[in-house]
Structure 1
């Protein structure tokens, strides 16, 4: 998974707390990230309907939906795409006793194990929202939302 996923998730949490549009340069400055790279990730989130992009001097990026309706999987998929993490290429067909005509992605034990693991991972991410993350952080560090709001001004 790319570091863009981490950046996007943290940015969504910050935007949930700030509650208004924030420019990409300011969002990037919060963690010392490269603004151009973060902006590309934010555009991915806009295309996925997770963020909105507001033009103008008071514009920037804001959550497009309630944080409780944005799953961690939504963000991961917006950044990484919907393709499976593991792709069986059928190398069994190239083994000394392999059958090049077999449907290895559906019959390979390793591919099946990876598919089950990925489905469990995706279910876990789909079951947690930005609001859940915010609530956990707020329990562990009660002053964090207010500190974040003050930093963004």
Structure 2
């Protein structure tokens, strides 16, 4: 079982694709298709990122998302918390008090203070959250950029721009068709 769900992974990757400034915003559908992930899930992730102030959205057929802040000012922790709500790594059930030998009356020595298991998990969570808070989107992107061929980023950018242009063309066509139908119906 993983600690964070697929939504966190998808959301972080989406944020990386939004780093490069685009003439037009990027739709959640295009982000989903680009990565081969479910569009329905992406349409639930992006509003969470917007609510957290990490992206801005533009409505409409030509709309989509852009980063709300510079990539060096957005941490992985902010993205994770926006999507998963800052849930803890470990949910201590405090079972130490349930030992059968206590016969339902656990002594204070066993229940006082933080459970040792819980304490280890809290330290581990603190370390993990510290690491995510030190890592910005720009840090991640630079690491990814070192591995990718030089033309990969521009190719992705062109694909996203083409998708946005195609949506705009489709919108203009739909408006023209609608206008023609109205004129025909009023002339009949």
TM over 0.5: yes
Relative to 1, partners in 2 of residues 1:104 and 1:133: Cα closer, same or farther, differing over 3 Å?
A: farther
- Give, in whole Å, the separation in 2 of the partners of 1:58 and 1:105: 59
- Give, in whole Å, the separation in 2 of the partners of 1:62 and 1:105: 49
Count of paired positions: 153
- Give, in whole Å, the separation in 2 of the partners of 1:76 and 1:41: 11
Give the one of 78, 81, 84 matched to 1:80: 84
CA contact under 8 A between 2:33 and 2:39: conserved in structure 1?
A: yes
Does 1:3 pair with 2:6?
A: yes
Which stretch of structure 1 is more off in the superposition, 10-19 or 36-45? 10-19
How far residue 87 of structure 1 moved from its aligned partner, in angstroms, is 1.4
Which stretch of structure 1 is more off in the superposition, 89-98 or 72-81? 89-98
Does 1:54 pair with 2:54?
A: no
Counterpart residue number, 2:120: 113
Does 1:133 pair with 2:133?
A: no
Structure 1 unaligned blocks of 5 or more: none
Higher Cα Rg: structure 1 or 2? 2
CA contact under 8 A between 2:96 and 2:110: conserved in structure 1?
A: no
Structure 2 unaligned blocks of 5 or more: 162-188
**Higher RCO (C-alpha under 8 Å, 6+ residues apart):** 1
SS state at 1:61 partner: strand
CA contact under 8 A between 1:93 and 1:101: conserved in structure 2?
A: no
Give the one of 138, 150, 153 matched to 2:158: 150
CA RMSD of aligned residues (A): 2.0
- Give, in whole Å, the separation in 2 of the partners of 1:61 and 1:120: 31
How far residue 144 of structure 1 moved from its aligned partner, in angstroms, is 2.8
SS state at 1:53 partner: strand
How far residue 78 of structure 1 moved from its aligned partner, in angstroms, is 0.7
